[in-house]
Chains A and B, each alone.
Chain A
Amino acid sequence: MQGWDLLVTGFAHSLTSVNLVACFAGALIGTLVGVLPGLGPTATMALLLPFTIPYGPTTGLIMMTGIWYGAMYGGSTTSVLVNIPGEAASVITCLDGHQMAKQGRAGAALALVAGGSFVAGTLGILGLQFLAPLLGNAALSFGPPEFLGFMILAFVLLANLSADAPLKGALMIAFGLFLSTIGINPMDSYPRFTFGTEKLMLGIDFLPIAMGLFGISEVLSTAVAKHAPPVVSGVRLRELYPNRDEVRRSVKPMLRGSVLGFFMGLLPGPCTVISTFVSYSLEKRLSKTPQRFGHGAVEGVVGPESANNSAVMGSMIPLLTLGIPFAAPSAIMLAGLRMHNVEPGPTLFGTHPDVFWTFIAAMYLGNLMLLLLNLPLVGIFARVASIRPPLLLPVISVICLVGVYSVRNAFFDVWVMIAAGVVGFFLRRWGYPIAPFIIGVVLGPTTEVSLRQTLLMFKGDMSLIADRPLAMLMLLIALACIVWRFVARLRGRPPVLAMDEGKAL
């Protein structure tokens, strides 16, 4: 079976009741999470991962992507209506989206954002559908040196892009990589850092760490923050019509944002957030009336919102073709797939084509569901933003506790989660990025295996890596990134793409 046949089969699989419910639930929960300030998509995905385990890898993947995707849709609602971004990728939408709302064009802004997100999402899925199998086939020829090169490049970019303090990013990556070495090393069956404890022999499970770092730490951060409930004005369905000029001005930013976001998604780090900032500055630069930006320019709303949706799909490519998650939500997805013994990577398209094609088909359906869900219910979602944290946090906390315990019926996992939560709270507070940490934990075993296999292959002579052009290219790009950062620092100019660590999550 080839191409479209596989997609048709994927549609047949995705139209099962379980997958449809998972798709709808993911989209709905994601939208709610996007609307609610505080709880981000990564935390929600970590929180809900245990619930997807009984339903198989495809259903889990569909639901997780639905949450991530839905959060991109939902995040814009509060940005436009109350000037509070529901999540980090919607920060830039506040600038012009809320200005449009002040001018009585909230409905139009929301409709254009939903339309843009739908178009960008569809183009992103098309890109994923055509590019992922091609890249997956190309990646079949990769050996350990190429994977090692990719890992090193990913870590360097992650440290560079996800934080305004790359040293802290590097420290977090190293710490995450270390955590993955705890337990029996599968290459030589040697127990490391177990200190004679049986519980540590199998290593520290990924899920409690992820739920602690993203779920509990967010609960603690939200709990200590002082909140004033936002005043939300309603939007009626009949107000959702943009005028002809607004539609005309939105088309090009929508398409540019879609393409830009997709390719930004291929970069390590908080791609959805970075793509919005890059799209905004691109639109402002291309505009004939840049002075309108910040005062309700529709291009400044549609471009970034299209970009963040498309970036989600772009970031699925390194995950599915190489098995390397470049962002925190895809790290959670990788962990989820591994729980079902599905290892994403070049062989995925041969060993589990059903997972990939059902996922693609479900994403088309999910994108449509989000459009249908977001436009008519925008008023209700906007009101969700006024729910106070004291009503939400007890429920989230308890679900985290029971959820992590239920995976292996182990109190040890709950202790790990609480410890990770408290550490995560301080990491956030002191500007340490959490995403590199969790990506380090997930990629740790692959990195070690790639490194040791490369050393064995080259008989310890690492200069032989020069004979592997792709691996060499990756290392040279990584080196160039370090030099670029260093030179930018010496000149006193921060790199353009450096993001605020807290927002980057």
Chain B
Amino acid sequence: MLGPEEADLMTSRGPGLETLFDAALLGLGAVIAYVSWGYGFGSLARPGPGLYPFFLGAAIVVCSVAVIATRAHRTSGGQRLDRREARILVTMTCTFCLWILAMPVLGYVLVTFITAYAFCKVLALEGWRKPLALSATTAAFVYLLFGHWLYIDLPRGILFE
């Protein structure tokens, strides 16, 4: 059951974000078309490097405008993001990013263990034993699979080299 605060978020913030996304696509299409213009069209008999991407940029602009116009005429069928969902999404994305940033320092085994543990906690896996066991198993699996079976040279971390 949603609280009043969450319900409020679903009605106010959701559609705004969706329209912003459509507008971003529209803007991106315009930028693609503009940049392609600079690459040169050539002629139809000898097409230049800008012709094809310009056409795609223009197609993105046209489709985005049509999508925005269509939405103005009907209620959006898209689902909106509430606070709980936004929290999970942001935390998981940050954890993904942290994996990249921490990998060169901590090495792939340790960073995999920490990341897996963080994911378990974000996903509300109860207690500490289950997350710990799952993270340790995952790290061991990654070590055996990538390090020993596939012989992939992954960063061991400046702390362990």
A residues sitting closer than 8 Å to B (CB atoms) are 51, 54, 165, 167-168, 170-171, 174-175, 177-178, 181, 185, 187-188, 190, 192-193, 216, 219-220, 223-224, 389-391, 393-395, 397-399, 401-402, 405-406, 409, 411, 414-415, 418, 421-422, 425-426, 429-431, 448, 451-452, 455-456, 459-462
Please determine whether B67 and A181 come into contact, CB atoms closer than 8 angstroms.
no
CB contact under 8 A between A460 and B43, given known A174-B59, A223-B122, A406-B146:
yes
CB distance from A449 to the nearest CB of B (A): 10
Interface of A is mostly: helix
Q: Tell me if B153 counts as interface (CB < 8 A to partner A).
A: yes
- Which residues on A sit within 8 Å (CB–CB) of B122? 223
Residue of B nearest to A397 (CB): B119
In whole angstroms, what is the CA distance A426 to B112 when docked?
A: 26
Contact B45 A51 (CB under 8 A): no
18 example contacts (A-B, Cβ-Cβ < 8 A) are as follows A54-B150, A165-B70, A167-B63, A168-B67, A171-B25, A174-B63, A192-B49, A223-B92, A390-B125, A394-B115, A394-B119, A395-B141, A398-B116, A405-B103, A414-B96, A422-B89, A426-B21, A456-B46
Contact assessment for B56 and A170 in the assembled complex, using a CB-CB cutoff below 8 Å: no
B93 is contacted by which of A185, A422, A461 (Cβ under 8 Å)? A422
Q: Do A167 and B115 have beta carbons less than 8 Å apart?
A: no
Q: Is the contact region of chain B dominated by helix, strand, or loop, or is it mixed?
A: helix
Closest to A388 in B: B125
Set of chain B residues within 8 Å of A405, measured between Cβ atoms: 103, 154
Q: What's the nearest-Cβ distance from chain B to residue A401, in Å?
A: 5
Do A448 and B125 have beta carbons less than 8 Å apart?
no
Q: Is the CB of B89 within 8 A of A220?
A: yes
Question: Are the CB atoms of A430 and B18 closer together than 8 Å?
Answer: yes
Cβ-defined partner of A452 (8 Å) among B39, B52, B117, B141: B52
User: Is A192 a contact partner of B39 (Cβ separation < 8 A)?
Assistant: yes
The 6 closest A-B pairs by CB, nearest first: A460-B44, A460-B45, A394-B119, A430-B78, A171-B63, A390-B123
Asked if B25 contacts A175 (CB within 8 A), the reply is yes
What is the CB-to-nearest-CB distance from B57 to chain A, in angstroms, rounded to a whole number? 7
Q: How far is the CB of B142 from chain A (nearest CB, A)?
A: 5
Q: In the complex the two chains form, what is the Cα distance from A397 to B93 in whole Å?
A: 11
Query: Is B134 an interface position by the 8 A CB rule?
Result: yes
How far is A192 from B153 in the complex, measured between Cα atoms in Å? Answer: 32
Contact A402 B154 (CB under 8 A): yes
